Structure 1
């Protein structure tokens, strides 16, 4: 007898955060008349709005027998939008159905709004949360971790069959160069061999000088990548890439606006440094066009934006057709996001490295909400080996952060 889906619920959770130590950027300033609940990420034309607190949307799918699967639709800075999509559009299509038919559910839910043009943005983030919850539920019903259901592991294992995924420390915190250099040293002391610096708030030369200084300070011990958050045009992106390459930076992330595929293709052809992008794309079709045009040397799909584990898995395999590696984009979110990324990483042959948001500033919506935290060891994250995602929420801690 099939243990059918009984309920699909969406829970908003939130916590206060220190923007500077979380993102590793100088505190953004609000323009005149701006809503104080949001922050502007970049100066100039390309502005990204961030919430002033950590917040995300969890999806809980429960079977008739009471088995629960968890997912996450990150949806910054307004998770209420994805909450409405889940509750009003996606949940009614799932109740009463077989929870094991995950790919069939994904296809039906995606197609339910495809012809209306909703193949990106909040719709895909809502679908991601539902899809991850279904995979967690399937793993629990079958007693297997998700990476095994997907055919893994490809990751590094030891004699105890522990699956390890390489990771980098993301967001070097500090308001000054000296503070960032100290943070970089702290990452190295914790065993990290790679880290990422966020730029785009200072002037062109100021940003690059900081990146060059940090890259040279850690040379031979760790690699630096740089995230420009789409703040350059084609000319300045080329200038930045050549300077950063000379300083030993491993790759440049998102130097151009995401729509500029021609610019990305030209930049990839013009410089030897790998150019990474793709956190904004949501489907295999979008990534296929990017890859066909040679517009990325490394792609960065985000499992909580790219329509969930089902679609992110397809995206990774499409990239493999072009011999392009992928890196898991992970932002400040719950541990569901990170755990789902680790399972996907362990199940794909062309995985490169996983983003680990600033380990020096614990995420209040991450490990503190779990009964057992995710494990980090010497530059690697350990993939949970329990059924499904392999993580369990502390119900009291979760309730304390749930937004009514």
Structure 2
């Protein structure tokens, strides 16, 4: 008899940080009683710790698959969705039916409007764990189940320069350039001297050959974004990410039509259905799926749709302990349209001890883990944190 899912459990891992994500607090930013801050530059909430939801699926034969999704804010919401709703519908299913199970779980709440947010984050963790199990049961790395491996290494760009001053941020970028990285992205909410000035400083420090992008964090109207992007363009802007509010499809299309820089979007999307209307409006040229939001099934659907419409795919960073980063690298290696992959060095480097396996990012490239499934597993320290 084929193996069946016997149990689905989820836990939160919390890790302290010396400096909050995106760098030190700016004037007017304060930590509240729950450990959250709101960045003034984009009005978005962040924790002062690293936090992730890790999911474990075990089969009747004792095989274990690992998944992961965002636990940045209100992680108990994801835990409740897994434990009370989604998990029981996965128990008893064939772990090799990952995409089928994904669609069945998606349909459970479709008519209630849950086509995004926490519900699909929880679903993403289950989907990743099932694909991990499928690879382990087949004795193959995940990429081999996704159509085959197109590349051994994936170009990586350094994302985020969490230093206090513009000069220090340029120094940090130059540090990574010396390590072999040639592509970079800075965050607009902490570019205190203005985007054009930040861009000019980085260009002067990194030279003409470096690729430099700007993450605009959904903070602008279309008219504001057009003005800001045009001011950066004389310094050879690589791409402008998330220039307008995520719900402003018309504004995104307007920006794309009015600037010469390629527009990137998609970090916050959960399914291919988020991509379709943007493609119809020709609103972006770079697609940025985030494995922690999409899971493997929707990530591949988004990537395939992007390929069919001749768009580039540059996946988002996959912030976590590294489980869904591994899934993202496998999927990226299987997609022809992938041009590069975000590298969140301020999270990857200090937290890599939480995984076993040979996943790495060095000399400007990611290398995929090679063991079956995701190729990585929680380390003994991570397992202790899951049990605590």
TM-score of the pair, normalised by structure 2: 0.95
> Given the superposition, is the C-alpha separation of residues 400 and 207 from structure 1 closer, same or farther in structure 2, using an over 3 Å criterion?
farther
> Given the superposition, is the C-alpha separation of residues 128 and 30 from structure 1 closer, same or farther in structure 2, using an over 3 Å criterion?
farther
Cα RMSD of the aligned pairs, angstroms, is 1.8
Partner of 1:323: 310
Q: Distance in 2 between matches of 1:112 and 1:66?
A: 28
Partner of 1:79: 75
1:129 to 120, 125, 133: 125
Q: Distance in 2 between matches of 1:258 and 1:403?
A: 37
Q: Secondary structure at the match of 1:240?
A: helix
Partner of 1:114: 110
Query: What number of residue pairs does the alignment pair up?
Result: 388
Higher helix share: 2
Q: Distance in 1 between matches of 2:258 and 2:96?
A: 47
Partner of 2:47: 51
Partner of 1:225: 213
Q: Distance in 2 between matches of 1:111 and 1:335?
A: 28
Partner of 1:191: 180
Q: Distance in 2 between matches of 1:274 and 1:362?
A: 27
Question: What does the per-residue CA deviation read over 1:37-74, in whole Å, with 9 as the maximum and x for residues that have no partner?
Answer: 1011234xx51111111001001000111110001111
Is 1:175 equivalent to 2:164 in the alignment? yes
> Given the superposition, is the C-alpha separation of residues 301 and 150 from structure 1 closer, same or farther in structure 2, using an over 3 Å criterion?
same
1:351 to 330, 338, 344: 338
Q: Distance in 2 between matches of 1:32 and 1:170?
A: 24
Q: Distance in 2 between matches of 1:121 and 1:375?
A: 30
Assess if the C-alpha contact under 8 Å between 2:31 and 2:37 holds in 1.
no
Is 1:265 equivalent to 2:253 in the alignment? yes
Partner of 1:399: 383
> Given the superposition, is the C-alpha separation of residues 105 and 2 from structure 1 closer, same or farther in structure 2, using an over 3 Å criterion?
same
1:402 positional shift: 3.0
Q: Distance in 2 between matches of 1:32 and 1:196?
A: 26
1:386 to 365, 371, 374: 371
Q: Secondary structure at the match of 1:251?
A: strand
1:253 to 221, 241, 254: 241
> Given the superposition, is the C-alpha separation of residues 232 and 298 from structure 1 closer, same or farther in structure 2, using an over 3 Å criterion?
same
Partner of 1:370: 355
Q: Distance in 1 between matches of 2:263 and 2:31?
A: 36
Assess if the C-alpha contact under 8 Å between 2:312 and 2:339 holds in 1.
yes
Assess if the C-alpha contact under 8 Å between 2:214 and 2:241 holds in 1.
yes
> Structure 2: where are the runs of 5+ without partners?
none
Is 1:341 equivalent to 2:328 in the alignment? yes
> Structure 1: where are the runs of 5+ without partners?
156-162
Deviant stretches of 4+, over 4 Å: 28-34, 361-364
1:295 to 265, 269, 283: 283
Assess if the C-alpha contact under 8 Å between 1:8 and 1:62 holds in 2.
yes
Q: Secondary structure at the match of 1:65?
A: coil
> Given the superposition, is the C-alpha separation of residues 304 and 399 from structure 1 closer, same or farther in structure 2, using an over 3 Å criterion?
same
Q: How does 1:201-212 map to 2 (within 5 A)?
A: 201=190, 206-212=194-200
Q: Distance in 2 between matches of 1:400 and 1:229?
A: 35
> Given the superposition, is the C-alpha separation of residues 244 and 31 from structure 1 closer, same or farther in structure 2, using an over 3 Å criterion?
closer
Is 1:7 equivalent to 2:7 in the alignment? yes
Q: Secondary structure at the match of 1:208?
A: helix
Task: Select the structure with the greater relative contact order (CA < 8 A; seq sep ≥ 6).
Answer: 1
Q: Structure 1 residues 219-228 or 383-392, which shifts more?
A: 219-228
1:179 positional shift: 1.0
Q: Distance in 2 between matches of 1:387 and 1:171?
A: 31
1:152 positional shift: 1.9
Assess if the C-alpha contact under 8 Å between 1:75 and 1:122 holds in 2.
no
Q: Distance in 1 between matches of 2:234 and 2:369?
A: 39
Partner of 1:158: none
Partner of 1:144: 140
